A and B are shown apart, each in its own frame.
Chain A
Amino acid sequence: MWQQIYDAMKDKGFVVVAVAMDTAEAARPYVDAAKPAYPCLVDRDHRVAALYGMVNVPEAVWIDENGRIARPAENAGSWDGFRRRDRTTGIMPKEDVDLIVRAKRTYMDAVRDWAINGAASRHVFDEEAARARLRPPSEDVALAHVHFRLGGHLLRTGRPDEALTHFEEARRLHPDSWTIWRQTAGRNDQGFAANADFWARVDALGESRYYPRVDMEGMP
């Protein structure tokens, strides 16, 4: 997904670190097919989500040369077009296709600008602005992550029923997390966590976005 930008920017002190919020077995075919040149890590327990406040994919954090957060966790340039696709014909209105392209391009241009200009990029937040955009966890969210971790262990050690009770608790305690919800959800015919329950949950968002707007000039 990020191969092009990595290839273009890797000589400018820029690296992509991709983290799969997933099991290695499920994610491996994608990595084997795409063979990204940048590091691809497996985070079956969603540790990085817990540390940075990530709640969906794709999200990204910009981290500068000194290991400081330049942009906290946010939607990495996706647009909600999939919600406007006709669920029978699969057809998406042209304006949404255009908005998907525009959102992605706007975001990619910003990443490129940061890769080239570093701290001088206009897309880097100052400390106050960065702090204001952090997603510090609530007590419930912290608890959700240990339930999720425990559930994952129980699932791997052959105790799916007990795992499910902890997954359900994690979902209840952290309702904003799509990563926890979808990781533990049923799959549709194509093997994706996009069954009827998923669509009901997406529809319940109403006017809220599945991919929240990226706080960036020119972003739809």
Chain B
Amino acid sequence: MAVVLTDQGEFEAAPRRSPPGLWLNTRDLARITGFEAKPEGFCKGDICVPVPHGVARYVDEAGNIDAAAFWRHIGNVAVRDKAGEVWAFGAGAGERAQALETLEAPDFELPDFDGRLHRLSDYRGQKVFLSSWASW
């Protein structure tokens, strides 16, 4: 089993091949990244990423996808532990910068100290003073 940490949460998946790479079936890819395999490529909402011509480096004959290679191919970042059992997937600089440029405050969900989840957007309609602090 591999653990994949993403902005959406922590996911478990059974890799189809050993590292390097995080080889997943299309169902796990969709569950973890939101990208579904379609005839036109890998699609999330209106966005479709065509599978490159020739031998796609991140798709094998059995139809498994190297999710990490795919994730990086579309401009994101992915790192892993030595064994390839834990992966962290994040948005790339381009996506983060684009999001900021709109001046729409990026939404997020975090727990309070009682474990109750709050979304920034729960406070829409108020002026939000979003402030950071730490004990260290």
Considering the chains assembled together, what is the distance between the CA atoms of A209 and B38 in angstroms?
Answer: 52
Number of A interface residues, CB 8 Å?
85
Segment at the interface with B among A24-32, A89-97, A199-207:
A24-32
Number of B interface residues, CB 8 Å?
50
**Across the interface, which residues of B come within 8 angstroms of A150, CB to CB?**
5, 79-81, 86-88
A21 at the B interface (CB under 8 A): yes
Contact, CB under 8 Å: B96 / A13: no
- Known contacts: A17-B120, A136-B93. The answer to whether A127 contacts B131 by CB under 8 A is no
Nearest to B97 among chain A residues (CB) is A136
**Across the interface, which residues of B come within 8 angstroms of A158, CB to CB?**
none
DSSP class of A's interface residues: helix, strand, loop or mixed? mixed
A171 at the B interface (CB under 8 A): no
- Known contacts: A62-B129, A65-B127. The answer to whether A27 contacts B112 by CB under 8 A is no
Segment at the interface with A among B12-20, B52-60, B100-108:
B100-108
- Known contacts: A149-B88, A179-B134. The answer to whether A63 contacts B127 by CB under 8 A is yes
Contact, CB under 8 Å: A193 / B121: no
Contact, CB under 8 Å: B79 / A146: yes
**Across the interface, which residues of B come within 8 angstroms of A58, CB to CB?**
131-133
- Known contacts: A61-B105, A69-B105, A150-B79. The answer to whether A13 contacts B134 by CB under 8 A is no
**Across the interface, which residues of B come within 8 angstroms of A2, CB to CB?**
129, 131
**Across the interface, which residues of B come within 8 angstroms of A76, CB to CB?**
131-132
Contact, CB under 8 Å: A17 / B118: yes
CB distance from B91 to the nearest CB of A (A): 7
**Across the interface, which residues of B come within 8 angstroms of A28, CB to CB?**
113
- Binary contact readout B70-111 vs A (1 if CB under 8 angstroms, 0 otherwise): 000000011111100011111111001101110111111011
Considering the chains assembled together, what is the distance between the CA atoms of A135 and B93 in angstroms?
Answer: 11
Across the interface, B127 reaches (CB within 8 A) one of A118, A182, A183, A192, namely A118
- Known contacts: A17-B118, A150-B86, A162-B82. The answer to whether A59 contacts B103 by CB under 8 A is no
Contact, CB under 8 Å: B132 / A42: no
Across the interface, B105 reaches (CB within 8 A) one of A41, A50, A63, A137, namely A63
B125 at the A interface (CB under 8 A): yes
Contact, CB under 8 Å: B5 / A153: yes
- Known contacts: A42-B110, A65-B125, A153-B86. The answer to whether A22 contacts B77 by CB under 8 A is no
Across the interface, B103 reaches (CB within 8 A) one of A127, A138, A162, namely A127
